[in-house]
Amino acid sequence: MQTSRNYFYECDNPACRLRFPGYEGYPKSQRCPVCRSGLHVVATTDGNIESDIKLSANNSWQIEVMLDNIRSAWNVGSIFRTADGCGVKQIYLCGITPTPENSKVNRTALGAEQAIKWASYKNAVIFAKECKIRGYELWALEHIPGAIPLFQTHMGDNDSPILLIVGSEVAGVDPGVIELCDKVISIPMLGKKRSYNVAVAYGIAAGYLLYLQSVSQGSRKILPNT
């Protein structure tokens, strides 16, 4: 197991006192990024780069992900990282969604793009039809009339794998894909905005669905250390 040491610095200037994390080997000559004064170390932490303990889901986790015309490479990378944390084993990138070949995806995925299988398809509707034929249930994450609130969603007794579909940051999931879906789920909103950031929305949905499946199958079957 590899470890690294993280350093927290504070600006020497009493009128500034910016406090921020650095890293092992951070140049001691480095100046405060705000006022250019000197810095001193105020705390350190040891961080594991690679943990010996894996809490990933086992083969009973039956949810895969389709990203339908996500524009932002940053969002795609973030979704890859969250998907890896939730034990998702396959991501399908459709339309104009950037792939891990894009350096911006790599920067936010932080290696998760190497742990998860992925494939790209030009047409999300055609791919969704293929998934239906292969026995997938299609669940779209979209805020439309008639959508089921996420926290009222049930996994059911069907053993079919679920394809969770997340759509464009602006336009949402393609209407042609929505027509093919077995279920449309939405995340309740309390503020003035009508939607979350797409990567945040995915994280909320994927985490909750993993929780639901762990409850339905016995939490220790999917998450053995809970």
Q: Quick: pLDDT tens for 48-96.
A: 544 443 444 444 568 899 999 988 889 888 888 888 888 888 999 998 8
Q: Are residues 99 and 39 in the same domain?
A: no
- Is the confidence at residue 223, as pLDDT, over 50? no
Q: Are 163 and 139 in contact (CB under 8 A)?
A: yes
Q: Which domain holds residue 22?
A: 3-48
User: What's the whole-model pTM score?
Assistant: 0.74
Q: What is the predicted pLDDT for the residue at 219?
A: 46
Express each pLDDT in 157-170 by its tens digit. 667 888 999 988 88
Q: Let me know if residue 225 belongs to a domain.
A: no
**213: number of Cβ within 10 Å:** 21
Same domain, 199 and 117: yes
14 and 72 both lie in a single domain: no
Instruction: Please report the pLDDT score of residue 171 as a whole number.
Output: 86
pLDDT at position 23 over 50: yes
Give the C-alpha distances (Å, rounded to integers) separating 104 from 52, 81, 150, 174, 186. 28, 13, 30, 24, 28
8-state DSSP, 153: -
CB 205 within 8 A of CB 163: no
